[in-house]
Structure 1
Amino acid sequence: MTPNRLVFLRRFGSTVVLWSVALWIILSGHELGFHFLIGTLAMLGLWEYYTMLDHKKLPNFKIIGLICGFVFMVGSFYYFSHVGPVHSYDFEVATLLFFLLVVFARQMFQHTRDISPLETMAYTLFGLFYVIWMFGFVTKIVYVLPRDDTGHVTGHLYVLFLILVTKFSDMGAYLTGSLIGKHLMVPHISPKKTWEGFFGALAFSVGGACGMVALMPRQLSYFHQKDAVILGLVLGLAAIIGDLAESIIKRSCDVKDSGHLLPGIGGALDLIDSILFTAPLLFFYLRFVLDVS
């Protein structure tokens, strides 16, 4: 078996197993299971981010960052599920301020000079914003949609839409780039990304979005085919940027993958890197374009 085929089989197997579990949890509509899934992926992603910094010997407050991330995720779940989205935004702003205060307070006990204190705080806070805050928009999507008549959440189906469209983009880029990719896109960031893969990603994401809206018109009642085309393009582009953004971080830290949790894929951060960018855009589309609140 060729190395490329072996990598593909490992990646395919990991993807099938992981997303089978994830989709089962999402489709069940069980809030605690969903919270556990999102929280686990977020915390693993944050751990991997700080581990990459350690590999490059870049200063950071890993433990402080992980504690802050845990507080944000648990608090966000509680406020959005029990208090509601409107008042939960105040909690989010307060928590972000808490991040700044805690990291600055921690730095006061470090006897360092030059630029090291600024670097330590910047690396620590960036991880919290990049992983925890951005991935937290998945939770917001669940609760920004009104509950049904029985009190069950409906936003989990829009998270399903988000994940499938994002992964269609990733799959389109991988398949198209592997089959016909010749023109390199940004070789200084990712030597395998091609322009053929870029347009393949957009085509797959638009097709996936339109297909989901056509198959689930009642469950995705806020979306029409026009929205599907727009979101397919927007989320597809954001997924590409998200993948390249993590590539910048990995290249800066001299690592190939963020971790070794998933054979053929890498770590949790490799799995959610695109969703970090697509989730906020879908949330703001729901809020500001479709006026969901």
Structure 2
Amino acid sequence: MLTRICTAVVLIVAVLAWLFKADYAIYAMGCLFMYAVGAYEMGPLLGYKSRIPFILISCICAVLSFIAVGNPGNFINTGIPSVAQYITVTGMIVWIGCLPLLIKYPHNTAWHNSIVLNTIIGILLLVPFLMGLLILRASEYATNNLSGSFLVLSVMALVWCADSGAYFTGYFLGKHKMLPNVSPKKTVEGLIGGLVTALIGMYIFMQLGWFGQYADNKFALTCACIAAIIFSVIGDLVESMLKRIVGIKDSGKIFPGHGGMLDRIDSQLAAIPVFLTFIWLVSGELR
């Protein structure tokens, strides 16, 4: 328990420093670090015998996405190109597509035998997340270089609020299992409690001004937050399903007491691109 608490404290300090002390270039390097470690850990979950092939494929895909959008460092000066938006939106494909896989588990896992399909799924889990992080941090950077920091923190904190609310609501009130074959401890009551807690968090973040220009359209922001919260649960469930299929307890051991990188960011993999996708779709900003 002490190890877990100490690791959590170090992680919180590191994330806050990464968000609020690092300039955009250092922030982007942190994003790439999360992406690379996540890819390193994801290989075995997708059926790769070695971790190397998938991390190489992931790096190639990241480079190709950067070539497609131009230098992501220019996001803070020239704005977000439409191709970057569409790369982020592709994340919705895998999350929606994973819903029937979750529902049918464990009765149908034949799809996991296809390394090509698994690779596509893995890339669509990671690349839109990476692009979304870079887009969020670049928000209003020219006028306030910390505006994007608060925005990234807000979206991440929504997930943390949802996780905490779901845990305590499920612990005290949980009766109806959601997907017991995938995650035995998750309940419908926990999901509702997590959603309510996160919405309270959203209201607080709005009052604090953390959402910046995204709060100009409150309807679009509310829709995006609700979608991000719901899909963050799906992100957690998808990783749980993949670990169960291959018989792995933790994705890695990089964080003592907390498992691997994917164990820490599985919900964020879905929340970040889904949040942006709904913001753009509801507000009509998707060009």
For the aligned pair, the TM-score class normalised by the smaller chain equals 0.7 to 0.9
Instruction: Find 1:287's aligned residue among 252, 276, 280.
Output: 280
Structure 2: state its 5+ residue gaps.
89-109
Shift in Å, 1:190: 0.7
CA RMSD, 1 decimal: 3.3
Q: 1: CA distance between counterparts of 2:197 and 2:57?
A: 36
Aligned CA distance change for structure 1 residues 66 and 231 (closer, same or farther; 3 Å) = closer
Instruction: Find 2:129's aligned residue among 130, 134, 149.
Output: 134
Q: 2: CA distance between counterparts of 1:91 and 1:238?
A: 18
Aligned CA distance change for structure 1 residues 156 and 188 (closer, same or farther; 3 Å) = same
* SS in structure 1 at match of 2:254: coil
> Amino acid of the residue matched to residue 223 of structure 1?
A
- Note if contact 1:48-1:267 (Cα within 8 Å) is conserved in structure 2: yes
Quick check: 258-267 or 125-134, which moved more? 125-134
Instruction: Find 2:149's aligned residue among 156, 177, 192.
Output: 156
Quick check: 160-169 or 170-179, which moved more? 170-179
* SS in structure 2 at match of 1:255: coil
Percent of aligned pairs sharing the same letter: 25
Shift in Å, 1:181: 2.6
Q: Tell me the residue number matched to 1:65.
A: 57
Shift in Å, 1:236: 1.6
Structure 1: state its 5+ residue gaps.
1-5, 94-114
Shift in Å, 1:19: 2.5
* SS in structure 1 at match of 2:119: helix
What pairs up with 1:1-293 in 2 under 5 angstroms? 6=1, 10-28=3-21, 30-53=23-46, 57=49, 61-62=53-54, 64-72=56-64, 79-82=71-74, 84-86=79-81, 88-89=83-84, 119-143=114-138, 145-149=139-143, 152=145, 154-216=147-209, 220-223=212-215, 229-291=222-284
Q: 2: CA distance between counterparts of 1:72 and 1:43?
A: 15
Aligned CA distance change for structure 1 residues 247 and 67 (closer, same or farther; 3 Å) = same
Shift in Å, 1:287: 2.4
* SS in structure 1 at match of 2:147: coil
> Amino acid of the residue matched to residue 56 of structure 2?
I
Q: 1: CA distance between counterparts of 2:29 and 2:201?
A: 27
Aligned CA distance change for structure 1 residues 228 and 123 (closer, same or farther; 3 Å) = closer
Aligned CA distance change for structure 1 residues 162 and 188 (closer, same or farther; 3 Å) = same
Shift in Å, 1:207: 1.1
Structure index of larger Rg: 1
Aligned CA distance change for structure 1 residues 10 and 202 (closer, same or farther; 3 Å) = farther
- Note if contact 2:199-2:226 (Cα within 8 Å) is conserved in structure 1: yes
- Calculate the TM-score normalised by the size of structure 2: 0.76
Q: How many residues align?
A: 259
Q: 2: CA distance between counterparts of 1:122 and 1:160?
A: 32
Quick check: 11-20 or 235-244, which moved more? 11-20
